[in-house]
Amino acid sequence: MNLKRVRAIANKEYIQIIRDPRSLALGLLIPVILIVLFGYALSLDIKDVPLAIWDQDNTKASVDFILNFKNSEYFRIIGYYDNYRNLERLLNYGRTMMVLVLPKDFSRYLYSNQSVPVQLILDGSDSNTATIALGYAQSVVQQYNDKLFRKSSQTNLVNSQPISLDQRVWFNQDFESKNFIVPGLIAIIMMIIAALLTSLTVAREWERGTMEQLISTPVRSSELIIGKFLPYFAIGMIDLVISVILGRFVFFVPLRGSLIQLFIMSALFLTGALSLGIFISTVAKSQLMASQMAILTSFLPTFLLSGFTYEIFNMPQAVQAVTYLIPARYFIKILRGIYLKDIGMFELWPEATCLMVFSVLMSRLAIHKFKKKIL
């Protein structure tokens, strides 16, 4: 391999990227747009669930009960109503997600030590959010019950809670989904760079006729592929820096592990992803075909099957088996491990090995598949 030729190809590719503002903008704005979009908009945290209330009892006891919802940061009381027709309309128009109805005899039941039926109506259209909101409501009620029980048990001296669950959350104490999403986004961003930018580089040369000229020279396949790879690798690493900085200083995502390990692992994954892009480009020979193939084979599986959007253990067995073939699966685990758990190669070596295998295989395949022949 002749490094001078590699440099010539890389330099040529670099000039072409610089002179095509669209591809450059795509390469550098993608991380910013994605992180801002996902960081702000796609928050999986649920706060301020809109809640409408019909308090039929309207006594000190019922107001006291409602206060528990009011004081919880998870609910936002949008108003008090006195008939079902209004409440139904609110639900229909999506102005509220939850409706709480306290019966007329709320305080009477309570003081006579009877169980009180309180009605909770929930908009279940978005089942995920609804489940989480329901959980919040249940815990508010549970806390209220506990409080009542403690009061009465002080007099009766019975232990109401034989088992008490003492919870402690590790790694993401506040259950903030951005802490979980931003590290995963690095994998998505790198895959997009590979899919959208790299997949075009070889196909474009075939389409424009420059490849016929180039393959008539003594340049080797490896020199050509590596030369094309380098500028995109640089863009990918710049994107990584942008992502880490945005994550740290705009979204305050803690980076607990080693920055060096994060960069090394990212470089490894990026090598595989870019090689995949170049491989696709080599096989496709037309830009349109290449970009479609890239989106289908690299971007979509990464988005859906890597554990970024959906938990892998929730998937059907067959799909779970497929996820082992998605390199981003390993990378996302590494990213979250380094970011949130401060673990490193000692714990993550199986994932790192898988990434290594992927990158070596993919880059060899890209070089091997590229033939200096017209057909």
Contact residues toward another protein (CB under 8 A) are 2, 4-5, 7-9, 11-12, 15-16, 19-20, 208-210, 212-220, 372-375
- Indicate the residue among 55 and 205 with the shorter CB distance to another protein: 205
- CA 375 – CA 372 distance, rounded (Å): 9
Residue 205: CB minimum distance to another protein, A: 9
CB of 194 to another protein, least distance (A): 22
CB of 358 to another protein, least distance (A): 30
Three state DSSP letters for 215-247 = CCCCCCHHHHHHHHHHHHHHHHHHHHHHHHHHH
Q: Which is nearer to another protein, 41 or 374 (CB)?
A: 374
d(CA 276, CA 197): 12
Q: Measured in whole angstroms, how far is the alpha carbon of residue 369 from the centre of its chain?
A: 33
Shorter beta-carbon distance to another protein: residue 70 or 220: 220
Antiparallel, parallel or unpaired: β 119-122 and 98-102: antiparallel
- Nearest distance, CB of residue 197 and another protein, angstroms: 15
Question: 340, 256 in Cβ contact below 8 A?
Answer: yes
The residue (of 70 and 285) whose beta carbon lies closer to another protein is 285
Closest to another protein by CB, 20 or 82? 20
- Minimum gap (Å) between residue 373 Cβ and another protein: 6
| Nearest residue (CB) to another protein, 7 versus 256 | 7
| Secondary structure class of 123 (helix, strand, coil) | coil
Cβ pair 373, 215 in contact under 8 A: yes
Nearest to 179 by CA among 251, 125, 113, 259: 251
H or E element in which residue 78 lies: strand 75-80
Strands of the 98-102 sheet, one edge to the other: 75-80, 49-55, 98-102, 119-122
Instruction: Report the sign of the C-alpha dihedral through residues 354, 356, 358, 364, in that order.
Output: negative
Give the separation between CA 104 and CA 66, rounded to whole angstroms: 14
Nearer to another protein, 16 or 125 (CB): 16
Q: How far apart are CA 340 and CA 63, in angstroms?
A: 41
Cβ 11 to another protein, closest distance in Å? 8
Strand duo 49-55 + 75-80: pairing: parallel
Nearer to another protein, 9 or 202 (CB): 9
* Closer to another protein by Cβ: residue 43 or 213: 213
Closest distance to another protein from the beta carbon of 277 (Å): 20
Collect contacts of 17-25 with beta carbons under 8 A, ≥24 apart.
Answer: 17/231, 17/235, 23/197
Residue 218 beta carbon to another protein: minimum distance, rounded to whole angstroms: 4
Residue closer to another protein (CB basis): 9 or 186: 9
Minimum distance of another protein from residue 16's CB (angstroms): 5
Q: Which of 112, 110, 98, 100 is nearest to 144 (CA)?
A: 110
